[in-house]
């Protein structure tokens, strides 16, 4: 499948990140004014790769997602577009407020869980596997419709216990190295681990094209890398722990702009 | 079929020098990376990329394992007449893919 | 009687060393087995002298991840039938093998400017050599420091 792009306006992304931080104070370990996306910690070369859609390798996945949006699927022979119309209209703002509450399953659900739930419930199709190009592509395509928008987590009260679980996990020491996320990402961001600068761990651009993976991957994949990094056994893909963590991380990142598809080292 | 992203202007003037950017989804497995069992994963790379303009080759690249995954190559050409740009990627394990893009010259 | 343990120990030592060498060879082919940079450069330029200049190799001085270092190659050339760049080749000194790519241009290129992304196994020198239509060869080099991801994926 090939896409031809005509060079148009370049998306300058979150260079003016400061403009999107909300002045309103909120409880949290990190002072609002200090919060910066992982984008700000990258080299100029990697930033350039993200800024320009004609250079960003994540676009290869996103464009597949765009094709999948229109493709009829399952026994219901229905495409996403058949119910949702043009994604640019119907999906605008969606990724900015996920994870959200799924009534049927009575739990917090992330965007990839929602895509798969739609496949099963409304297209009568099997769910996409974790980290498959189809799932990553569709989620990237949907999330891209919120690019540039401020992260604005869903205020549904039923999400509170899940978010609190996420906050607990973020602060819990894990693994043989006995580190918590907070120790590096709240207390030591900006310092270096090995040759790399420690970012603040805001999920501003997921799914991301990570240079280390040479491919696009989900937040769950990235969290698994962190868990392996502290020598903890990662939770299985799809575990509620990842969704709860994402809920907390998105609240912690409230007001930062979404960048999907981001590029990260 | 690998996913491909090509950036090329739709219209151009004769004599104009245009930039063409190409990006193709491919692991470019070097042959030096060890798999989970400690043994090197076999090499699987794109070895040659060509671009033709109305059938005449205007650019060619010989690629080696030191090229990044999802290879990105940007180059230029002088616009001559309206027609078709043809891009081919060939490599290990019979990899062979061709894509085209039209350009209108006036 | 005492000679036996020594002989056994020696044989076991040799076997272990042999297995160790074998394991190393499988996982990381020695750079010595691959052609060296000088010889592949000779393949490209033949007997010609390579002079420094004309071509510019742009690559960041510090690369966050060795999987994808952006590279730009530029030669100041009119790119006419009479005077143009025929090819630009990129070489490295510390990857498992020294070639990166060879880009074939010509007067239809309009401009001798190429951008791509390369892999860097470790901090090293990268060299670009341009072959001009008048038979001359010109080079530029850059030293690159490569940092790696801190938390190993495993």
Smallest Cβ distance to C119: which of B34, B59, B66? B66
Element (H, E) at C138: strand C137-146
Q: Do C110 and B77 touch (CB under 8 A)?
A: yes
Q: Do C147 and A194 touch (CB under 8 A)?
A: yes
B102 CA: distance to closest CA in chain A (Å): 9
A6–chain B Cβ distance below 8 A for any pair: yes
**Structural contact between residues B97 and B89, judged by C-beta atoms closer than 8 angstroms:** yes
**Residue tagged active-site, from A80, A118, A184, A226:** A226
Neighbours of chain C (3+ CB pairs under 8 A): A, B
- Residues of chain C in contact with residue B75, where contact means CB-CB under 8 angstroms, are 103, 105, 109, 113-114
pLDDT at C43: 94
Q: Do A43 and C148 touch (CB under 8 A)?
A: no
More confident residue, A3 or C9: A3
**pLDDT tens digits, C96-151:** 999 999 999 999 999 999 999 999 999 999 999 999 999 999 999 999 999 876 66
A59 → chain B, closest CA residue: B5
**Structural contact between residues A262 and A50, judged by C-beta atoms closer than 8 angstroms:** yes
Place of tokens 């900006």: A190
| DSSP-derived secondary structure for B43-98 | PB-EEEEEEEETTEEEEEEEE-TTBPSS-EEEEEEE--SSEEEEEEEEETTTEEEE
A101 CA: distance to closest CA in chain C (Å): 31
Q: Do B3 and A1 touch (CB under 8 A)?
A: yes
**Structural contact between residues B103 and B19, judged by C-beta atoms closer than 8 angstroms:** no
- Residues of chain C in contact with residue A44, where contact means CB-CB under 8 angstroms, are 60
pLDDT > 90: what percent of chain B?
95
Of residues B16, B18, B15, B14, the one with CA closest to residue B101? B18
More confident residue, C13 or A263: A263
Of residues A59, A48, A50, A56, the one with CA closest to residue A2? A59
Smallest Cβ distance to A60: which of B9, B10, B70? B70
Q: Which residues pair with C74 in a beta bridge?
A: C56, C113
Q: What is the mean pLDDT of residues C36-51?
A: 94
- Residues of chain B in contact with residue C104, where contact means CB-CB under 8 angstroms, are 59-62
Place of tokens 């990381």: C28
B5–chain C Cβ distance below 8 A for any pair: no
- Residues of chain B in contact with residue C77, where contact means CB-CB under 8 angstroms, are none
A237–chain C Cβ distance below 8 A for any pair: no
B80 CA: distance to closest CA in chain C (Å): 9
| DSSP-derived secondary structure for B19-45 | EEEEEE----B-S-SB-TTSSBPPPB-
pLDDT at C147: 84
Residues 50-79 of C with CB under 8 A from A: 60, 62-65, 67-70
- For testing contact with chain C, the best of A48, A211, A225 (most C CBs within 10 A): A211
pLDDT at A143: 98
C93–chain B Cβ distance below 8 A for any pair: no
Neighbours of chain A (3+ CB pairs under 8 A): B, C
A213 → chain B, closest CA residue: B69
A59 CA: distance to closest CA in chain B (Å): 8
Q: Do C70 and A213 touch (CB under 8 A)?
A: no
- Residue A226 annotated among the catalytic residues of the structure: yes
Place of tokens 């080299």: A43
pLDDT values of chain A reduced to their tens digit, one per residue, 265 residues: 676 777 654 343 333 333 343 333 334 468 888 999 999 999 999 999 999 999 999 999 999 999 999 999 999 999 999 999 999 999 999 999 999 999 999 999 999 999 999 999 999 999 999 999 999 999 999 999 999 999 999 999 999 999 999 999 999 999 999 999 999 999 999 999 887 899 999 999 999 999 999 999 999 999 999 999 999 999 999 999 999 999 999 999 999 999 999 999 9
pLDDT at C151: 63
Q: Do A7 and B72 touch (CB under 8 A)?
A: no
Query: If phi over 0 gives left and psi between -120 and 50 gives alpha, with beta otherwise, what is residue A96?
Result: alpha
Per-residue pLDDT band for C16 (boundaries 50, 70, 90) equals very low
């Amino acid at each position: 499948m090939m896409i031809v792009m005509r060079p148009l306006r370049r998306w300058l992304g979150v260079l003016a990140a400061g403009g999107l931080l909300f002045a309103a104070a909120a409880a949290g370990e990190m002072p609002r004014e200090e919060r910066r996306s992982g984008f700000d910690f990258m080299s100029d070369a990697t930033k350039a790769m993200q800024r320009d859609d004609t250079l960003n390798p994540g676009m290869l996945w996103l464009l597949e997602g765009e094709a999948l949006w229109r493709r009829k699927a399952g026994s219901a022979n229905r495409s996403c577009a058949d119910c949702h119309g043009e994604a640019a209209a119907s999906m605008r703002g969606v990724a900015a407020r996920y994870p959200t509450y799924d009534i049927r399953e009575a739990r917090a659900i992330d965007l990839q869980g929602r895509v798969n739930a739609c496949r099963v419930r409304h297209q009568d199709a099997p769910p996409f596997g974790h980290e498959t190009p189809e799932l990553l592509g569709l989620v990237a395509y949907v999330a891209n419709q919120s690019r540039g928008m401020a992260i604005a987590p869903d205020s549904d009260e039923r999400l509170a216990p899940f978010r609190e679980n996420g906050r607990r996990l973020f602060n819990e020491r894990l693994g043989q190295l006995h580190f918590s996320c907070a120790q590096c990402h709240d207390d030591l961001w900006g310092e270096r681990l090995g040759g790399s600068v420690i970012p603040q761990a805001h999920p501003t651009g997921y799914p991301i094209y990570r240079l280390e993976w040479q491919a696009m991957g989900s937040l769950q994949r990235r969290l698994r890398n962190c868990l392996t990094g502290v020598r903890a056994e990662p939770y299985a893909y799809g575990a509620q722990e990842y969704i709860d963590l994402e809920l907390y991380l998105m609240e912690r990142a409230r007001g930062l702009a979404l960048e999907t598809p981001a590029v990260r080292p | 079929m690998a996913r491909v992203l090509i950036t090329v202007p739709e219209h151009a003037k004769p004599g104009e020098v245009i930039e063409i950017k190409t990006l193709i989804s491919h692991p470019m497995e070097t042959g030096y990376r060890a798999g989970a069992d400690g043994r090197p994963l076999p090499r699987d790379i794109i070895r040659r990329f060509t671009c033709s303009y109305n059938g005449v080759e205007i650019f060619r690249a010989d690629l080696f394992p030191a090229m990044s995954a999802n290879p990105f190559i940007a180059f230029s050409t002088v616009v001559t007449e309206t027609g078709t740009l043809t891009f081919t990627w060939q490599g290990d394990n019979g990899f062979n893919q061709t894509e085209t893009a039209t350009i209108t010259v006036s | 009687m005492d000679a036996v343990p020594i002989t056994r120990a020696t044989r076991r030592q040799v076997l272990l060393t042999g297995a160790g060498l074998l394991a190393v060879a499988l996982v990381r082919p020695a750079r010595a087995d691959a052609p060296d940079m000088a010889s592949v450069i000779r393949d490209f330029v033949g007997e010609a002298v390579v002079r420094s200049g004309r071509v510019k190799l742009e690559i960041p001085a510090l690369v966050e991840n060795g999987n994808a270092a952006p590279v730009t190659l530029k030669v100041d050339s009119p790119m006419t039938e009479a005077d143009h760049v025929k090819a630009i080749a990129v070489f490295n000194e510390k990857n498992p093998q020294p070639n990166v790519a060879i880009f074939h241009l010509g007067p239809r290129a309009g401009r001798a400017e190429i951008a791509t992304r390369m892999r860097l196994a470790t901090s090293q020198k990268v060299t670009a050599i341009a072959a001009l239509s008048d038979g001359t060869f010109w080079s530029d080099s850059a030293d690159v420091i490569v940092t790696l991801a801190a938390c190993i994926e495993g």
